[in-house]
Structure formats: structure tokens, C-alpha cells
């Protein structure tokens, strides 16, 4: 009995020590993970700050120049033959807006797209390797010292599958960062919504608007800081607010570019694709009526079935793009209202405190505009439609 008690006591001590050691390991692992996440977040913030500082150096002179043009606009005549009129100044401002937009996009704002494509290409290569290994495994020997055996192929296949998982996780991380970028400009989207956006032909344009919006908010915050630091100098204050006005005009400029692509490129291309599919269907129906061979008739029927599916998806795609067009039209009207208010305030500047309040308010209004132009997100009925969206997007982009 005494020996049993000693054994039980020793067992408890050993188990307790083991539990304490495991607890310490879990604690240390968790601590390391949290520290790693903190370091990663700090690194991301530092990269973001550096990126903005570089952008600010390029954009600030452009904003200053456009602000001076806003002053000239007030005094310029509506039209004139021998002197600069309002239309001339508007064209100059438009050029500056284009330069600023190009500068913002010239940065790594769309690096996500390249990153995702690189990972997808690697995954595709690994899948092709697996397919090859599976085929070669059929005739491989069970045992051999000089040839690749069946178990060797199994190991190769396993390694490729591990690599596929690794790159799939990298894609997930890129998409997670994208979702965070949306949150930074006041828009919450789900993983599914992001997948739908990425599959659409206007996905790149949509991303550009939101990723640039993040930088514009930083620019607005920087202008507000400069204004508060120079709150006793009215001329400087007015100049900074003029720059803010230009940033608001840039929002409208970006939205109009997106609208123009929707109306004059994407929707036009979809109409052409729909007409082509209808023509091919008509040709197939004509040919099937003249065909005696049953095998060829069946192939024509399959072609017609595929063409009907294409036409159905194109119609659905057009509907979604028209919804986006409707949303962007609403967003443009809201943005224009904010620009009109900013223009009127710029003309009637009286004190920096009023301007600070108005800029803060405009940032809140800007978040509302972002919500308006968010496209209507509808889940795909099945994976075939999702893949068809991607195929159509590639075709439209290749025809630009």
C-alpha cells in the first residue's frame, strides 16, 4: 500500500511537471506569436509611413500649383479670346489631377495583383507537376535502386501539395491585407465579396479607387495638420484648403474615369461578346438542320448549350456592371456636392478654425461616398459562373 502511494505521488509529480512544462511552452509560443504579429504590424505601419512620405514629396508641389489655379479661377472671365478664361484653367487643373492620380498609382498600390498572380502561377505549375507524377507513377517500379519508384512519386506529390498549401496561404494573406485596406477607408467587406470583386473586369479600377482613397485620407490629414500649425497665417490656411479642394476634385476625377470605362469599354465589350455568341449559335442552328451525321449533330447541340450558357452569364455580368454604374453615378453626384461646398468655402475663407471643422466633416462625408460606390455584391450561383466571369474579364482586357 505504501509503495502504491509513493508510486502515485511520483506519477502526480511527473505529470504536474510535464503539465507545467507544456503550459510554459504554450505560453512562450503564444507570446512569441503575439510579438511576431506586433513586429509585423509595426513593420507594415513603417512601410506605409515611408510610402506616404515619398508620395507626399511628389504630390505636394502639384497640390500647391493646383491651389494657385483655384485662386486664378475665381477672378478669370467665363470666356475670353485673348486671355486665360475659366475653361483654360479647368483644363490645366485637369492635367494636374491626372498627374497626381498617375503618381498615386505609380506606387505599389496594385502590387497585390502581381503578388496574387505570382502565387497562382506557381500553384498552377505545381498542379501540372502532380499530374505528370501521377501519370508516371502508373508504370514506375515498386522497388528500384536506379529508377524512381511508386513511393518516390508519392513523396514528390506530397511535397508539391505542401508547396501548394504554402502559396495558397500567401494568397490568403494578401487578400486579408486587401480587406484591411478597405476597412482603412471605412468599408467592411467579406472574403466572399472580395472574391467577387477580384473576378470582375472592373475589379482593378475598383481597387484603385479604394486604395487611392486611403492615400487621399492621409493627404487630407496632413493638410489639416499643416493648417493647424499655421492657424495664424490666413494666406497659408487658404492655400492648404485650396489643396484640400483639389484632393476632393481628384475624387470626382477618379470616379468619372471609372464611369467612363464602365460605359465606353466594359459594357460595350460585353455587348460585342453577346452578339458574337448569338451569331455562333445561329450558325450552329443552321448547320444542325442540314446535318445527317448524328455524332456531328450532338456536337452542335453541345456547342449551342455552351453558347446559351455564355449568353446567360454575359447578361448577368452586364446587370452587375449596370448596378455599379448606377452606384458610381450616385457617388459622383455626392462628391460633386462636396466639391461645390469646398469651392464656396474656399472663396469665403474667414478663419482656420472653421476650415479645420469643415475638413474634418468632409472626411466623414468622403467615407459615406465610399459606401455609396460600393458595387452590389451578389454571390455566384456556382463556380462555373465565377470562372466564366474570369474568362470574360480576360477577353475584355485583351481587347482594350
DSSP 267-301: HHHHHHHHHHHHHHHHHHHHHHHH---HHHHHHHH
Block residue for cell numbers 472626411: 363
Q: What is the DSSP letter of 370?
A: H
pLDDT of residue 276: 93
Kindly state the cell numbers that stand for 35. 510579438
Tell me how far apart the alpha carbons of residues 210 and 218 are, in angstroms, rounded to a whole number. Answer: 13
Tell me how far apart the alpha carbons of residues 161 and 156 are, in angstroms, rounded to a whole number. Answer: 9
Could you tell me the residue ranges of all domains in the chain?
2-106, 111-184, 190-398
Q: Which segment of 33-47, 140-154, 249-263, 293-307 scores lowest on mean pLDDT?
A: 33-47
Reported confidence tier of residue 14, pLDDT bands at 50, 70, 90: very low
Best mean pLDDT range from 30-34, 165-169, 318-322, 345-349: 165-169
Residue 108: partners with Cβ closer than 8 Å, 6 or more residues away? 51
Alpha carbon of 42 to those of 36, 51, 185, 239: distances in Å?
10, 14, 19, 34
- Flag whether the pTM goes above 0.75: no
Query: Taking residues 51-60, what's their average pLDDT?
Result: 82
Alpha carbon of residue 181 to chain centroid = 8
Reported confidence tier of residue 129, pLDDT bands at 50, 70, 90: very high
Q: Kindly tell me if the per-residue pLDDT of 164 is higher than 90.
A: yes
pLDDT digits (tens, 9 = 90+) for 271-298: 999 999 999 999 999 999 888 899 999 9
Q: CA angle, corner 82, sides to 80 and 87, nearest 5?
A: 40
Tell me how far apart the alpha carbons of residues 183 and 371 are, in angstroms, rounded to a whole number. Answer: 11
Q: What is the DSSP letter of 230?
A: T
Query: How long is the chain?
Result: 400
Q: Which of 204, 259, 254 is nearest to 100 (CA)?
A: 254
Asked if 153 and 102 count as a contact pair (C-beta separation under 8 A), the reply is no
- Mean pLDDT, the chain, integer: 79
Q: Kindly tell me if the per-residue pLDDT of 334 is higher than 60.
A: yes
Query: Taking residues 323-346, what's their average pLDDT?
Result: 87
Amino acid at each position: 500500500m505504501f509503495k502504491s502511494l509513493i508510486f502515485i505521488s511520483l506519477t502526480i509529480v511527473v505529470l504536474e511537471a510535464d503539465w507545467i512544462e507544456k503550459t510554459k511552452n504554450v505560453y512562450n509560443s503564444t507570446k512569441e506569436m503575439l510579438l511576431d504579429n506586433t513586429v509585423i504590424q509595426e513593420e507594415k505601419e513603417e512601410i506605409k509611413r515611408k510610402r506616404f512620405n515619398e508620395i507626399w514629396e511628389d504630390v505636394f508641389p502639384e497640390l500647391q500649383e493646383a491651389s494657385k489655379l483655384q485662386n486664378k479661377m475665381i477672378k478669370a472671365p467665363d470666356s475670353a479670346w485673348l486671355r486665360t478664361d475659366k475653361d483654360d484653367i479647368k483644363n490645366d487643373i485637369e492635367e494636374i489631377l491626372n498627374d497626381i492620380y498617375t503618381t498615386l498609382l505609380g506606387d505599389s498600390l496594385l502590387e497585390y495583383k502581381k503578388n496574387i498572380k505570382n502565387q497562382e502561377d506557381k500553384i498552377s505549375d505545381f498542379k501540372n507537376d502532380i499530374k505528370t507524377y501521377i501519370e508516371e507513377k502508373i508504370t514506375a517500379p515498386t522497388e528500384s535502386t536506379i529508377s524512381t519508384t511508386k513511393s518516390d512519386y508519392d513523396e514528390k506529390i506530397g511535397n508539391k501539395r505542401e508547396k501548394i498549401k504554402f502559396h495558397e496561404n500567401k494568397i490568403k494573406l494578401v487578400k486579408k491585407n486587401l480587406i484591411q485596406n478597405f476597412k482603412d477607408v471605412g468599408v467592411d467587406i467579406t472574403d466572399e465579396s472580395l472574391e467577387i470583386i477580384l473576378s470582375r473586369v472592373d475589379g482593378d479600377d475598383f481597387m484603385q479607387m479604394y486604395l487611392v482613397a486611403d492615400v487621399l485620407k492621409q493627404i487630407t490629414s496632413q493638410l489639416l495638420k499643416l493648417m493647424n500649425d499655421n492657424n495664424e497665417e490666413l494666406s497659408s490656411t487658404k492655400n492648404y484648403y485650396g489643396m484640400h479642394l483639389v484632393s476632393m476634385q481628384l475624387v470626382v476625377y477618379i470616379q468619372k474615369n471609372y464611369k467612363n470605362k464602365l460605359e465606353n469599354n466594359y459594357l460595350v465589350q460585353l455587348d460585342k461578346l453577346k452578339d458574337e455568341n448569338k451569331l455562333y449559335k445561329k450558325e450552329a442552328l443552321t448547320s444542325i438542320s442540314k446535318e445527317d451525321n448524328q455524332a456531328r449533330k450532338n456536337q452542335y447541340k453541345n456547342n449551342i448549350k455552351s453558347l446559351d450558357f455564355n449568353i446567360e452569364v454575359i447578361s448577368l455580368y452586364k446587370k452587375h456592371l449596370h448596378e455599379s454604374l448606377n452606384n458610381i453615378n450616385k457617388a459622383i453626384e455626392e462628391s460633386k456636392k462636396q466639391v461645390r461646398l469646398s469651392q464656396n468655402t474656399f472663396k469665403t475663407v474667414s478663419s482656420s478654425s472653421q476650415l479645420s471643422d469643415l475638413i474634418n466633416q468632409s472626411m466623414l462625408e468622403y467615407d459615406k461616398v465610399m459606401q455609396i460606390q460600393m458595387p452590389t455584391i451578389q454571390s455566384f450561383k456556382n463556380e462555373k459562373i465565377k470562372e466564366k466571369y474570369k474568362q470574360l474579364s480576360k477577353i475584355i482586357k485583351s481587347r482594350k
